[in-house]
Amino acid sequence: MSHVTAPSLADLAVFGGTPAFAEKQHVGRPNLGDRERLLERINDILDRRWLTNNGHYVQEFERTIAEMVGAKHCIATCNGEIALEIAIRALELKGEVIVPSFTFVATAHALQWQEITPVFADIDPRTHLIDPESVLRLITPRTTGIIGVHLWGQPCDVEALSAIADEHGLKLMFDAAHAFGCGTSTRLAGTWGQAEVFSFHATKLVNSLEGGAIVTNDDALARKIRLMKNFGFLGFDNVGYVGTNGKMTEFSAAMGLTSIESMGEFVAHNHLNYDQYRKALANVPGVTLLEYDEDLHANYQYVIAEVDEEESTISRDWLLDVLWAENILARRYFYPGCHRMQPYRAYFPNAGLLLPETERVSARVLVLPTGQTMTPQDVDRVCGVIRRAVDHGREITARLERAGKRLHGDVFGR
Ligand code: T4K
C-alpha cells in the first residue's frame, strides 16, 4: 500500500506547517463591552467603598435582569453553579431529580453536592435538548423534580415538561446558563417553571467575570433564596435560616451591566459569524451545523457542529487534532455526557443503555470558536482547515494514527 502524501497536506500544522492562526482561538473568549464605562463604574465603586453585600450595582444588575426577562424577582449570585445549588435547596428537591446527561457537569453536580441523585434523561438529537418522553420513563416514587436545560440558548420543551411536572406533582426548574436573552418569539427564558438560573461566567454572551442569577415569580421562594445566599441573615446578629455565601461582588455587577449594554452588538456579531460558518461549511461532507430555529430568540454564542465520520472520512477527534495544531481550540462540549463522568459513571455504569442519543451526539459534537475576537474572515479560515481535513480525511487519519498524535488533551489549552 502506498503512503504517498498529497503535497497540499504538508503545510497543515499538524504535519509541521505554520499554524493558520498565530494566536490561540478559544471557544468562549470573553466579549468585552465599553472599557471606559466599566472603569467609570469601578472607580465609582471604589469611591463608594461598598464592594459587595447587596451593593448599589448588584441591585441595579438585578433590576435590569428582572426587567429584561420579565420576571418578578432576580437574585444575583457569585456564579451559576451556586445559583443552581441554592435554587435546588430553596425548592426543597430531594431523592431523585431528572436532568439531561448532555449538559455541563455543573447541572448534575449541583444536585449531587446536596446528596440528591441526578437521574439522566436523553435528548432530542435535532436540538440536543432534554427529551420529555425520556423524562416520563424515568419518574419513580423518589422523583421530586425536573431540571430542564436550555442548551445552546434554545428553550427546551417547557410546555411538555410543565405538563409532566403538573401531572406527577413534581417541581420544575431550568438551568438557563446559556440562555440569557434567549427564548421563543413571545417569551424569554427566565419565567418558566418555579425558577430559572443564569450564568454570567466570563465565557457567556453576557459576563460578569464570574456570576449567576436566579429568577422567579414566586415571592416566598425569592425571599428564601435571598436569605440563603447571605448565610440566612435576617438582619445584623439575626440568622433565620441555614445559608451559604452566594453573593455577587460590585465589580462583577459593574462588568455585568457594562456587558448587557453591548449585548445587542455581541449577538449581531455572533450571528454574522454563525451565518459565515453555515455558508462555508454548507458543502463539507459529514459536517453539519446545529440550526437555530429562526423564530426563536437565539444568541448564537455556541456554534455547534456534528461530525459524521462515515461521510467526513475523518473522526471528530482526529479533526480536533488538526484544528488544535492550527491554534483553533475547538471543544467537545458536552462529551462524554455527565453519565460517563465521575462519580456518576461509578453509580450508574449502564446508564448509557438508556441514553442512545446522548451517546451518539456526544461522540460527534464539535464546538467552534466565535465571539467578538473572531471575524467572519477568521471563520472562513477555520472552515478552510475543516474542508481540507475532510477532503483528505483518510490520508490524514492514517498519518496521525501512525504518529499517535493527540493534542486536544493538553492542559486546558492555555
Ligand atoms: N450549567 C450549564 C449548562 C453551564 O454550561 C454552566 C457553565 C453552568 C451551569 C455553571 O455556570 P458557572 O458556575 O460556570 O457560572 C466553561 C465555563 O467555565 C463554564 O462556565 C461553562 N458552563 C462551560 C460550558 O464552559 P470550561 O471547563 O470549558 O473551561 P474554561 O472556563 O476554563 O474556559 C473555556 C475557554 O474559554 C478556554 O478555552 C479559554 C477561554 N477563556 C476562559 C476564561 C475564563 C478565556 O479566553 N478567557 C477567560 O477569562 O468551562
User: Is the residue at 15 inside a domain?
Assistant: no
Is 407 a pocket residue for ligand 1 (Cβ < 6 Å)? no
End position of a domain, from candidates 230, 261, 292 = 261
Give pLDDT, residue 5. 47
Query: What is the count of structural domains for the chain?
Result: 2
Is the pLDDT assigned to residue 218 strictly greater than 80? yes
Are 225 and 86 contacting, i.e. CB atoms less than 8 angstroms apart?
Answer: yes
How much distance in Å is there from the Cα of 405 to the middle of ligand 1?
Answer: 26
User: Is the residue at 305 inside a domain?
Assistant: yes
Average pLDDT of the chain is: 95
Type of residue numbered 349: P
The 10 Å CB-count burial string (b at 16+, else e) for 206-228 is: bbbbbbbbbbbbbeebbebbbbb
Are 31 and 270 contacting, i.e. CB atoms less than 8 angstroms apart?
Answer: no
Q: Are residues 230 and 378 in the same domain?
A: no
> Residue 171 belongs to a domain with what CATH number?
3.40.640.10
Are 61 and 257 contacting, i.e. CB atoms less than 8 angstroms apart?
Answer: yes
End position of a domain, from candidates 210, 233, 261 = 261
User: Is the residue at 8 inside a domain?
Assistant: no
Task: Name the residue with the closest Cα to ligand 1, atom 29.
Answer: 412
- Which cell numbers in the block locate residue 166? 403538573
More confident residue, 262 or 295: 262
Q: Are residues 195 and 235 in the same domain?
A: yes
User: Is the residue at 227 inside a domain?
Assistant: yes
Extended beta strands in 279-345, E state: 287-289, 303-307, 328-329
The whole domain housing 386 covers 263-330+369-403
Is 81 a pocket residue for ligand 1 (Cβ < 6 Å)? yes
End position of a domain, from candidates 205, 238, 261 = 261
User: Is the residue at 23 inside a domain?
Assistant: no
Give pLDDT, residue 406. 74
The 10 Å CB-count burial string (b at 16+, else e) for 192-202 is: bbbbbbbbbbb
Is the pLDDT assigned to residue 191 strictly greater than 90? yes
Type of residue numbered 353: L
Q: Are residues 42 and 134 in the same domain?
A: yes
Q: Are residues 179 and 296 in the same domain?
A: no
Give pLDDT, residue 404. 80
Type of residue numbered 183: G
Report CA-CA distances (Å) from 126 to 105, 215, 271, 340: 21, 28, 20, 21
What long-range pairs does 89-94 form, CB within 8 A, spacing at least 24?
89/114, 89/228, 90/195, 90/221, 90/224, 90/225, 90/228, 91/145, 91/171, 91/173, 91/194, 91/195, 91/221, 92/144, 92/171, 93/144, 93/145, 93/171, 94/144
Q: What is the pLDDT of residues 339-380, one digit of tens each?
A: 999 999 999 999 999 999 999 999 999 999 999 999 999 999
Is the pLDDT assigned to residue 267 strictly greater than 60? yes
Mutate to test the pocket of ligand 1, among 99, 201, 299, 324 (most ligand atoms within 8 A of CB): 201
Is the pLDDT assigned to residue 179 strictly greater than 50? yes
d(CA 293, CA 99): 23
Q: Is 62 in a helix, a strand, or coil?
A: helix
Planar angle of CA 166, 113, 97, nearest 5 degrees: 20
Are 83 and 197 contacting, i.e. CB atoms less than 8 angstroms apart?
Answer: yes
Specify the pairing of strand 195-199 against strand 171-175. Answer: parallel
Is 333 a pocket residue for ligand 1 (Cβ < 6 Å)? yes
d(CA 190, CA 277): 29
pLDDT above 90 coverage of the chain, percent: 93
Give pLDDT, residue 73. 98
Are 152 and 368 contacting, i.e. CB atoms less than 8 angstroms apart?
Answer: no
d(CA 26, CA 74): 31
Q: Are residues 53 and 144 in the same domain?
A: yes
Is 201 a pocket residue for ligand 1 (Cβ < 6 Å)? yes
Q: Is 49 left (phi over 0), alpha (psi -120 to 50) or beta?
A: left
**What is the enclosing helix (H) or strand (E) of 284?**
none
Mutate to test the pocket of ligand 1, among 77, 81, 104 (most ligand atoms within 8 A of CB): 104
Are 171 and 91 contacting, i.e. CB atoms less than 8 angstroms apart?
Answer: yes
Q: Are residues 254 and 276 in the same domain?
A: no
How much distance in Å is there from the Cα of 241 to the middle of ligand 1?
Answer: 31
Is 79 a pocket residue for ligand 1 (Cβ < 6 Å)? yes
User: Is the residue at 58 inside a domain?
Assistant: yes
Q: Are residues 105 and 62 in the same domain?
A: yes
Is the pLDDT assigned to residue 145 strictly greater than 70? yes
User: Is the residue at 122 inside a domain?
Assistant: yes
Task: Name the residue with the closest Cα to ligand 1, atom 31.
Answer: 203
d(CA 356, CA 42): 49
> Residue 295 belongs to a domain with what CATH number?
3.90.1150.10
Q: Are residues 255 and 282 in the same domain?
A: no
d(CA 210, CA 275): 29
How much distance in Å is there from the Cα of 161 to the middle of ligand 1?
Answer: 27
Are 339 and 117 contacting, i.e. CB atoms less than 8 angstroms apart?
Answer: no
Query: Closest ligand 1 atom to the C-alpha of 175?
Result: 1
Q: Are residues 82 and 222 in the same domain?
A: yes
User: Is the residue at 291 inside a domain?
Assistant: yes
Q: How would residue 403 be classed by pLDDT, with cut points 50, 70 and 90? A: confident
Task: Name the residue with the closest Cα to ligand 1, atom 38.
Answer: 26
Give pLDDT, residue 4. 47
Q: Are residues 321 and 213 in the same domain?
A: no
Is 413 a pocket residue for ligand 1 (Cβ < 6 Å)? yes
Q: Are residues 187 and 69 in the same domain?
A: yes
Q: Are residues 52 and 116 in the same domain?
A: yes
Q: Is 165 exposed, middle or buried (0-12, 13-18, 19+ CB in 10 A)?
A: buried
